[in-house]
């Protein structure tokens, strides 16, 4: 970067670009707000059916006949899974489950689904019979005939109650079993384990050092930037304090990232970091169990977020957006909390794997036909950010066995960390297609009224569709710090600050060892 750029790339300039963008964006933010007020809760809300924290209108299809304590295992919410599609594409789903190393029980799901369909038919048949009986009773009848009909109606009603209860149980069970079925996979994703992941792009080369290098832990200690020792007394292992220039570096990373990403039309957000566990589940994470990554709050049904993806995913929960409002692009700043249960070994050294960290996360809601383009845009933004910081990295098209259940496709970026002597993941960009929106209940209504099939002559509203959701790391602070400290260390123990960040940390160009 030349002098000119340096002089001008201060906060004011960068942001003034944003200022105009904010107001001139194709979708002014308060269109959305108006929209939200209009379309949110168009269906009347039902009282909580299952547990105190049951969060959403997603339970509306469950008949409210069940007592709230009928079963501890009852799902608190309902995913709109397309069971018919799953049954009709059994082979593809089967192969997908195998490719993704998932233990989802497809056979069980299909069996339960077919049982449910049959039971539904049976219930409908009995309802029809009952209606017929009721109709017959409207006319004049012999007393004996009336009595027979009364008896028949009574017996039909009893069967109906029993069958409806069975149906609810079956639907609940189907929900539980079907939730483990992963998203389908993009046809270009390489099949296999971690080693099969394909390189999409590689930038730079490992820096060659002419002196013995230190890892970020040593640099953090020598420069008085990071304090793990006190944090392990106060909080536990894998917690840390940032000190001195590290605090400014964190702020600079976040401010710079936000301003860069806002230039692309993303709306900045800060989010709640405590959310109801149902939201965590709806985003495809498992908030409970021995190996959960999620911290739960004692005595409530809330937990701490592991990523801003969760609260941002929830922001439009149970609503119907206008097509013209899409895409919605957010850049959210939050602290993230992870138990890191089961994590051990060298990969957990220092800042690489910690219980709490700051992160700026991008999140997009868009039309299904746009999600691949948006995915590309997200990866491009990540690559541009890391290139600006001068990192050596590669972008990987992650293989099937490495995909989490919600991802249709995932690109990870791994950067060179010379002190750790390996590449380490610094970002992840996933297209979750409709996996999350089917759980969170986020739909949109296409703008064009449907022309065909307007049965009764009136202009029917087009059917709603599920949006696609995408998420991508813009800046996970601790891993960026690993990269910056280790790659920009100098022989005298100092660390150079990359030029783009300097204006955001008071012009500091170098972190020098403090005077003894």
Least distance CB 275 / its own copies (angstroms):
5
Which residues are CB-neighbours of 426 under 8 A, at least 6 positions away? 386, 391, 393, 413, 414, 415, 473, 476, 479, 480, 483
Question: Which of residues 269, 378, 475, 476 is near its own copies by CB under 8 A?
Answer: 269
Length of the chain: 516
Question: Which of residues 82, 164, 273, 340 is near its own copies by CB under 8 A?
Answer: 273
Q: Which of 428, 240, 426, 254 is nearest to 333 (CA)?
A: 254
The catalytic residue positions are: 338, 353, 425, 428, 479
**Residue closer to its own copies, measured from CB, 109 or 467:** 467
**For residue 204, cis peptide bond before it (omega within 30 degrees of 0):** no
Grouping H, G, I as helix, E, B as strand and the rest as coil, residue 412 is: strand
| Touching its own copies, residues 479-508 (CB under 8 A) | 502-508
Least distance CB 383 / its own copies (angstroms):
24
The span from the first CA to the last CA of the chain, in angstroms, equals 34
Least distance CB 248 / its own copies (angstroms):
7
**Residue closer to its own copies, measured from CB, 271 or 400:** 271
Q: Which of 295, 253, 299, 304 is nearest to 274 (CA)?
A: 304
**Residue closer to its own copies, measured from CB, 255 or 489:** 255
**Residue closer to its own copies, measured from CB, 290 or 369:** 290
**Residue closer to its own copies, measured from CB, 331 or 396:** 331
Q: Give 271's Cβ-side CA count (13 Å radius).
A: 30
Please state, in angstroms and rounded to a whole number, the distance separating the CA atoms of residues 514 and 181.
Answer: 55
Using CB atoms within 10 Å of the CB of residue 120, give its burial: 0 to 12 exposed, 13 to 18 middle, 19+ buried: middle
**Residue closer to its own copies, measured from CB, 46 or 514:** 514
Least distance CB 298 / its own copies (angstroms):
4
267 binds its own copies (CB under 8 A): yes
Question: Which of residues 236, 342, 345, 453 is near its own copies by CB under 8 A?
Answer: 236
**Residue closer to its own copies, measured from CB, 12 or 449:** 12
Phi and psi at residue 260, in whole multiples of 5°?
A: -65, -45
Binding mask 329-368 for its own copies (x = CB under 8 A): ----x-x-x-----------------xx-x----------
Question: Which of residues 188, 233, 369, 492 is near its own copies by CB under 8 A?
Answer: 233
Grouping H, G, I as helix, E, B as strand and the rest as coil, residue 156 is: helix
Please state, in angstroms and rounded to a whole number, the distance separating the CA atoms of residues 401 and 231.
Answer: 36
Sign of the Cα torsion 62, 75, 428, 389 reads positive
101 binds its own copies (CB under 8 A): no
Least distance CB 515 / its own copies (angstroms):
5
| Touching its own copies, residues 36-95 (CB under 8 A) | 36, 40, 55-56
| Touching its own copies, residues 242-261 (CB under 8 A) | 242-248, 250-251, 254-255, 258-259
Question: Which of residues 241, 387, 423, 445 is near its own copies by CB under 8 A?
Answer: 241
Find out whether 288 and 277 touch, Cβ atoms under 8 Å: yes
Least distance CB 269 / its own copies (angstroms):
6
Please state, in angstroms and rounded to a whole number, the distance separating the CA atoms of residues 50 and 63.
Answer: 12
Q: At what angle do helices 371-388 and 245-262 cross, to 10 degrees?
A: 140
Q: Which residues of 57-93 are buried (b: 16+ CB within 10 A; e: fewer)?
A: bbbbebeeebeeeeeeebbbbbbebebeebeeeeeeb
**Residue closer to its own copies, measured from CB, 27 or 149:** 27
| Touching its own copies, residues 292-321 (CB under 8 A) | 295-299, 302, 304, 311, 314-318
Question: Which of residues 170, 219, 275, 320 is near its own copies by CB under 8 A?
Answer: 275
Least distance CB 291 / its own copies (angstroms):
13
Binding mask 8-47 for its own copies (x = CB under 8 A): --xxxxxxx-xx--xx----xxxx-xx-x---x-------
- Mind spelling out the 3-state secondary structure of 63-118? CCCCCCCCCCCCCCCCCCCCHHHHHHCHHHHHHHHHHCCCCCCHHHHHHHHHHHHH
| Touching its own copies, residues 168-227 (CB under 8 A) | 221, 224, 227
**Residue closer to its own copies, measured from CB, 314 or 327:** 314
Which tokens is 296 given? Answer: 């739960």
149 binds its own copies (CB under 8 A): no
Least distance CB 498 / its own copies (angstroms):
15
Least distance CB 407 / its own copies (angstroms):
22
Which residues are CB-neighbours of 202 under 8 A, at least 6 positions away? 393, 394, 395
């Amino acid at each position: 970067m030349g002098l000119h750029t340096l002089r001008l790339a201060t906060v004011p300039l960068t942001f003034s670009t944003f200022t105009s963008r904010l107001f001139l964006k194709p979708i002014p933010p308060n269109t959305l707000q108006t929209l939200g007020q209009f379309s949110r809760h168009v269906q009347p809300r039902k009282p909580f059916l299952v547990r105190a924290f049951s969060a959403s209108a997603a339970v509306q299809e469950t008949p409210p006949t069940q007592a709230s304590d009928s079963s501890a295992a009852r799902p608190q919410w309902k995913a709109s899974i397309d069971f018919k599609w799953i049954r009709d594409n059994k082979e593809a789903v089967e192969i997908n489950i195998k490719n993704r190393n998932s233990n989802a029980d497809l056979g069980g799901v299909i069996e339960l689904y077919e049982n449910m369909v049959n039971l539904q038919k049976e219930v409908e048949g009995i309802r029809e019979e009952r209606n017929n009986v009721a109709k017959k009773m409207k006319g004049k009848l012999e007393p004996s005939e009336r009595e027979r009909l009364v008896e028949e109606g009574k017996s039909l009603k009893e069967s109906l109650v029993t069958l409806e209860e069975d149906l609810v149980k079956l639907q609940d069970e189907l929900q539980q079993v079907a939730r483990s079925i992963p998203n389908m996979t993009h046809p270009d994703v390489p099949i296999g384990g971690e080693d099969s992941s394909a390189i999409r792009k590689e930038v730079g080369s490992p820096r060659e050092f002419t002196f013995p290098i230190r890892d970020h832990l040593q640099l953090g200690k020598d420069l008085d930037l990071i304090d793990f020792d006190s944090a392990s007394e106060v909080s536990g292992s894998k917690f840390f304090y940032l000190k001195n220039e590290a605090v400014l570096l964190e702020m600079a990373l976040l401010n710079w990232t936000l301003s860069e990403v806002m230039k692309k039309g993303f709306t900045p957000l800060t989010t709640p970091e405590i959310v109801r566990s149902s939201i965590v589940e709806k985003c495809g994470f498992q908030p409970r169990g021995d190996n959960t990554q999620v911290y739960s709050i004692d005595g409530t049904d809330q937990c701490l977020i592991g990523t801003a993806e969760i609260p941002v995913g929830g922001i439009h929960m149970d609503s119907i957006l206008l097509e013209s409002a899409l895409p919605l692009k957010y850049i959210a700043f939050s602290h993230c909390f992870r138990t890191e249960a089961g994590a051990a070994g060298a990969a957990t050294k220092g800042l690489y794997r910690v219980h709490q960290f700051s992160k700026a996360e991008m999140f997009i809601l868009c039309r299904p036909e746009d999600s691949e383009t948006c995915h590309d845009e997200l990866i491009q933004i990540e690559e541009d950010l890391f290139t600006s910081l001068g990192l050596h990295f590669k972008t990987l098209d992650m293989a099937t066995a490495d995909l989490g259940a919600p991802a249709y496709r995932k690109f990870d970026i791994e950067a060179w960390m010379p002190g750790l002597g390996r590449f380490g993941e610094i970002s992840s960009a996933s297209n979750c297609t409709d996996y999350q929106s089917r759980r969170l209940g986020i739909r949109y209504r296409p703008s064009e009224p449907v022309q065909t099939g307007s049965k009764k002559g009136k202009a029917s509203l087009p059917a709603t569709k599920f949006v696609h959701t995408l998420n991508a790391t813009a800046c996970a602070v601790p891993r960026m710090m690993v990269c910056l400290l280790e790659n920009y260390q100098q022989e005298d123990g100092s660390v150079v600050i990359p030029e783009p960040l300097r204006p955001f940390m008071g012009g500091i160009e170098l972190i020098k060892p403090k005077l003894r």
